[in-house]
Amino acid sequence: MGYRVVVDYYLCESNAICMQVAPDVFEVRDDDFLYLLTETPGDDARGRVNEAVQRCPKQAISVAEE
């Protein structure tokens, strides 16, 4: 049982809060777009990913259980 990070790029406005909360998962680059460094960051990162989900001003991040 793992999970996958899902970003709705239609909603994402690159506020970059997720990058601050979980820099090992989310990266906003110089082109102002968000890149997922991994879609399956593993259990160690779960707390930070959940935090990023909650802190996203656009509610653009979700987690799919697998």
Q: How far is the CB of 28 from other proteins (least distance, A)?
A: 5
Q: How far is the CB of 19 from other proteins (least distance, A)?
A: 5
| Residue owning tokens 């656009």 | 58
Chain positions contacting other proteins, by CB under 8 A: 13-17, 19-20, 28-30, 32, 54-55, 57, 59
Q: How far is the CB of 56 from other proteins (least distance, A)?
A: 10
Three-class DSSP labels, 46-66: HHHHHHHHHHCCCCCEEEEEC
- Closest to other proteins by CB, 28 or 63: 28
What torsion, rounded to 10 degrees, do the Cα atoms 33, 37, 43, 45 define? -60
